[in-house]
Amino acid sequence: DQQVKQNSPSLSVQEGRISILNCDYTNSMFDYFLWYKKYPAEGPTFLISISSIKDKNEDGRFTVFLNKSAKHLSLHIVPSQPGDSAVYFCAASEGNTPLVFGKGTRLSVIA
Amino acid sequence: KAGVTQTPRYLIKTRGQQVTLSCSPISGHRSVSWYQQTPGQGLQFLFEYFSETQRNKGNFPGRFSGRQFSNSRSEMNVSTLELGDSALYLCASRSLPSGRGYEQYFGPGTRLTVT
């Protein structure tokens, strides 16, 4: 049973527009959420995180929104740049348990 | 600071063989986690070691095992390889065990192909 779901395997966005990547989770005990970005032949790199006590966290062009009632989080990238083209993974954890990752969404930013 | 390093980067093995993968964490990091990434499956947690002790284990068969040494370097072993074990194996380190606020830093991974 998949606890963290990224239902869109891929997403294409024009350069300069907003990219919105979505993630749903089923475990209401998750209290910490993260987004990672992965380029081919490299390991995932940490992007941004949010605690369950917040509903928004912003870092430059990246903003993560958390809707606990809907068990949904999203990553907004504004403006999107060609260098943002990568696979994005959503991850969640409950207390001291290991991170649970989604299957990823491949973002393509078209110039 | 040097990042997480994994060796080898690429490996081809035959069904039934065994394989050992190595991971050197960031200096000062004592927690090492291993993940398997396959197409369409995302990152699946294998196990986590902290101070030479296994703290958490994912839902993988006993053919998958690991260990951590006193210098925090970790090895992962897969015995009796199956075709389905072909994957990218990622190692991640953090300064403290699993817990919020301590992000993991990933290595580049070892691409294992089983033929």
State the average pLDDT over residues B79-85: 96
How close are the terminal C-alpha atoms of chain A, in Å?
Answer: 38
Chain A nearest C-alpha distance from B40 (Å)? 6
Residue B96 has pLDDT above 80, yes or no: no
How high is the mean pLDDT of chain A? 94
A with B: how many residue pairs have Cβ under 8 Å apart?
59
Residue A110 pLDDT: 96
Q: Is residue A26 within 8 Å of residue B90, measured between CB atoms?
A: no
Chain B nearest C-alpha distance from A80 (Å)? 23
List residues in chain A touching B: CB distance below 8 A: 6, 9, 31-32, 34, 36, 41-46, 49, 51, 89, 91, 93, 95-104
Residue B39 banded pLDDT, cuts 50, 70, 90: confident
* Percent share of chain A, pLDDT over 70: 99
Asked whether the beta carbons of residue B44 and residue A104 sit closer than 8 angstroms, the reply is: no
* Percent share of chain B, pLDDT over 90: 77
pLDDT, tens digit, 9 for 90 and up, residues B51-70: 999 988 999 999 999 999 99
State the average pLDDT over residues B66-78: 97
pLDDT, tens digit, 9 for 90 and up, residues A6-49: 999 999 999 999 999 999 999 999 999 999 999 988 899 999 99
State the average pLDDT over residues A91-102: 87
**What's the sign of the alpha-carbon dihedral A90, A55, B48, A47?**
positive
Residue A86 pLDDT: 97
Query: Which residues, in sequence order, are CB contacts of A90 under 8 Å at separation 6+?
Result: A4, A6, A21, A23, A33, A34, A35, A73, A75, A101, A102
How high is the mean pLDDT of chain B? 91
Residue A2 pLDDT: 83
State the average pLDDT over residues A56-77: 97
Residue A41 pLDDT: 82
Residue B1 banded pLDDT, cuts 50, 70, 90: low
Asked whether the beta carbons of residue B90 and residue A43 sit closer than 8 angstroms, the reply is: yes
Give the best-scoring range by mean pLDDT among A90-94, A97-101, B65-69. B65-69
